[in-house]
């Protein structure tokens, strides 16, 4: 049986605390560089002529490029908890197009005492302007 207890705060962390926010301007050069680094050369990301024939009408950034920005926010906030046991669950709600500025933000929505330690769950959101492109949660050990 798993025993857990919700906490409103733990050490210097409280429910409602915001994570450090970042903003990243994504352009086609960045998408091309990510395709080269990752080996994911799906033409939807790097071939404008092909991309015109798709649902999106133009190239879009890799979903995992946006998640790399999410990971940077979590790394800055709690490197140890994120890199060693962190869990991420997200939905891709819309594309990031070259030229978009992606803002990544997060907020602690649950602190939980479990048998194996104290964990914080964060609500995460990535926006391009007013448009949500990724939403989800991340859970990290904090103590």
> Which residues form the interface with another protein (CB under 8 A)?
24, 30, 33-34, 36-40, 42-44, 50, 54-55, 60, 63-65, 67-69, 71-72, 75-76, 79, 82-92, 95
Which one, 8 or 29, has the nearer CB to another protein?
29
Least distance in Å: CB of 106 to another protein?
15
Least distance in Å: CB of 98 to another protein?
14
Contact 23, 73 (CB under 8 A): no
For 84-118, b where at least 16 C-beta lie within 10 A, e where not — what string? eebebebeeeebbbbebebbbbbebeebbeeeeeb
Which one, 78 or 105, has the nearer CB to another protein?
78
Least distance in Å: CB of 8 to another protein?
26
How many residues are listed for the chain in this entry? Answer: 143
Which one, 40 or 112, has the nearer CB to another protein?
40
Query: Nearest to residue 66, comparing CAs of 90, 85, 44?
Result: 90
Which one, 10 or 92, has the nearer CB to another protein?
92
Contact 117, 5 (CB under 8 A): no
Least distance in Å: CB of 6 to another protein?
22
Rounded Cα–Cα distance for residues 56 and 68 (Å) = 22
The residues pairing with 102 across neighbouring beta strands, listed in sequence order, are 24, 128
Catalytic residues: 40, 45, 60, 63
């Amino acid at each position: 049986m798993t025993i857990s207890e919700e906490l409103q705060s733990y050490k210097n962390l409280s429910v409602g605390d915001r994570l450090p926010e970042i903003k990243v301007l994504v352009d086609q050069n960045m998408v091309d560089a990510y395709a080269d680094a990752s080996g994911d050369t799906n033409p939807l990301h790097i071939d404008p002529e092909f991309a015109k024939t798709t649902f999106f009408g133009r190239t879009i950034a890799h979903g995992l490029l946006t998640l790399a920005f999410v990971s940077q926010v979590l790394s800055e906030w709690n490197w140890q908890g994120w890199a060693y046991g962190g869990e991420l669950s997200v939905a891709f709600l819309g594309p990031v197009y070259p030229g978009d500025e992606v803002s990544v933000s997060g907020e602690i929505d649950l602190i939980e005492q479990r048998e194996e330690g104290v964990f914080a769950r964060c609500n995460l959101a990535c926006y391009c302007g007013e448009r949500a492109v990724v939403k989800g949660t991340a859970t990290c050990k904090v103590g």
